[in-house]
Amino acid sequence: MVFSSMTFLWVFLPIVFVATMLLRKIKPQNICLLITSLFFYAWGEPRYVFLMIFSIFMNWLFGMLIDRFDARKKLFLVLDIICNLALLGYFKYTDFAIVTIDRLFHADIPVAGISLPIGISFFTFQAMSYVIDLYRGKYKVQRNILNLALYISFFPQLIAGPIVQYKDIDDQIEDRVVSVEKVASGFRRFAYGLGKKVIISNLVAVASDNLFHMDVANMTGAMAWCAALFYTLQIYYDFSGYSDMAIGLGRIFGFEFLENFNYPYISGSIREFWRRWHISLSSWFRDYVYIPLGGNRKGTFRTYLNNVIVFFLTGLWHGAAWNFVLWGMYHGFFIIIERLGLGRVLKKSRVISHIYAMFVVAIGWVFFNVTSVHHGISIVARMLLPWRYTESLKTFGELVSLQSWLAVIAGIIGCGILQTVFAHGAQRKIADWWKGSAAEGAWLAVVVAVSIVLLANNTYNPFIYFRF
């Protein structure tokens, strides 16, 4: 079940919201949210809900052992990490490893055909962060397994994040306030996220998929650039829209999640991009991989090596395929050359630095989206040498509808340009007036109505981060 589905919007969410409001007290609400969260996950993958329950029990048990046996807590931490990574590795990377071995050594090992549990990367990282920070002494052990289960399985952030660290939600599990203002703010945020996903991302996705799925031999340089641009917008509005909906839903039920996006496409460097894009994942790798490896405290070479490791793992986390690994290493390469001196050059011109950042990011998304590295290289070649590729049997009119063009224009305006304009001076006063006004309420009503109409008409409704 996805947030942008009629079942969720008209059945699941209203029932859960009314039930929690009627219960009023925190403990019954938590039990209700836990049961409905497990049902939410089981809706799409009934058998894998038992995998999640096992993961919850395992991490709760290791947490209890760490708390109980201080002298052996490092051993239990290591065992917990090994078990979590083993689960993730088995379900997500077994077939990837087999295919890679087959290609390298012609071993002809049959693939296992293991299906990927939805959201396993997200809930595994959340569970690990709980045990690791417990070991570090950042909070007391959660003895109530139901409370820990709610933290790991809470449906707003279960299948696509943001990755919520336990220290950010610990107190809220047992002590939170559900007010009219907070509920209204949550629905407001949810409505914006729904519009991002359904009105912009879904409509752009139609054109993006048409371009990426066409025969590359028929793709002109202009089509290659449009494919990259469209996917750049699609993935941002897809994922940031889903994060907005998750944050809004959390707020409706009294929880405050940290932001996951901060207009990454206004960045002036790749380092800045990663401070703005998928913030919860960047923070996770910083706190649990980069800093434990030494960060930038052990000399220049170790700093660069640590960056390589982090971005290799970042790419691998996103998907069990070499194009994801290449995408991660590609970003790591630009992080390193910015550290070597390019970053100082970029600071001299905001315009040039922004063009550079978006050029790098757009090309990176090509490799992220394709099914093979060779396919990505073929598209990028047309982007870099457009004058060589000017003929096609297809026309833009066949591939990109007017609806998609309008969504692209709205997407470009809304991914940072409009927000930057209204961030200062007299425009800021307009922005402050708009927030919470009757005009904004009317606008959001239109956004929700249009989104529902599009969903009712079976609008193309893919979700990129389900596969992670």
Selecting among 278, 318, 331, 354, the annotated active-site residue is 318
DSSP 213: T
Q: Which of 408, 1, 3 is nearest to 241 (CA)?
A: 3
Q: What is the DSSP string of 413-427?
A: IIIIIHHHHTTSHHH
d(CA 453, CA 449): 6
Backbone angles phi, psi at 309, to 5 degrees: -60, -45
CA separation for the pair 232, 383 (Å, rounded): 14
CB burial of residue 341 (10 Å; 0-12, 13-18, 19+): exposed
Helices (H) and strands (E) in the chain, counts: 23, 0
Q: Are 38 and 52 in contact (CB under 8 A)?
A: yes
Q: Which residue type does 235 have?
A: I
Tell me how far apart the alpha carbons of residues 311 and 320 are, in angstroms, rounded to a whole number: 14
Is the bond leading into 162 cis (omega within 30 degrees of zero)?
A: yes
Q: Position of tokens 């932001």?
A: 259
CB–CB of 140/72 below 8 Å? Answer: no
Does 424 qualify as catalytic in the annotation?
A: no
CB 53 within 8 A of CB 148: no
Q: Which residues are catalytic?
A: 318
